[in-house]
Amino acid sequence: AALLGRSQATFASEVKLDGDKLEVTREVDAGLQVIRVAMPSVVTVDLRLNEPRYASLPNIMKARKKPIDEKAPEDFGVDITPRLTVLKTTEPPARTAGIKVESVQELVAKLREEAGVI
């Protein structure tokens, strides 16, 4: 949303059109939160927003017989040119084995000398 310069509303459980704005209800820890965003905006929704429709067995059998048309992104006017350039990819350094210490004093000494934390 930020890259598009649009407002955003996330985890919507209900969306209503109110003139030129959207009224979005979302569930938060304290209950329900209602926010209003200007359009156009980016809205992500919660699973409770829509009740999925399930296909019946006869429709599944009919769908198996239908041809599948393959389309390329260019057919829809979509530019799929990468907009990011990877400069370098490296593996993280290998972790060294841990050590067991017998006392707090030994732990503090190891943190000072070897880790340089304290």
**71-82 burial by CB neighbour count: b if 16+ within 10 A, else e?**
eeeeeeeeeeee
> What is the value of pTM for the model shown?
0.46
Answer for the pair 87, 96: CB distance below 8 angstroms, yes or no: no
**12-40 burial by CB neighbour count: b if 16+ within 10 A, else e?**
beeeeeeeeebbbbbeeeeeeeeeebeee
Query: Tokens 């980016």 belong to which residue?
Result: 42
Give residue 85's pLDDT: 86
Give residue 21's pLDDT: 93
Q: How confident is the model at residue 35 (pLDDT cuts 50, 70, 90)?
A: very high
Give residue 53's pLDDT: 87
Does residue 3 carry a pLDDT above 90? no
Give residue 36's pLDDT: 94
Give residue 115's pLDDT: 76
Q: pLDDT (tens digit, 9 = 90+) per residue, 53-112?
A: 899 999 999 999 999 999 999 999 888 888 888 889 999 888 888 888 899 999 999 888
> For residues 96 and 89, what is the distance between their CA atoms, to the nearest angstrom?
21
How many angstroms separate the Cα of 85 from the Cα of each of 7, 78, 81, 82?
27, 19, 11, 8
111: which 2 tokens? 């943190």
Give residue 16's pLDDT: 94
User: How open is the CA angle 31-37-39, to the nearest 5 degrees?
Assistant: 145
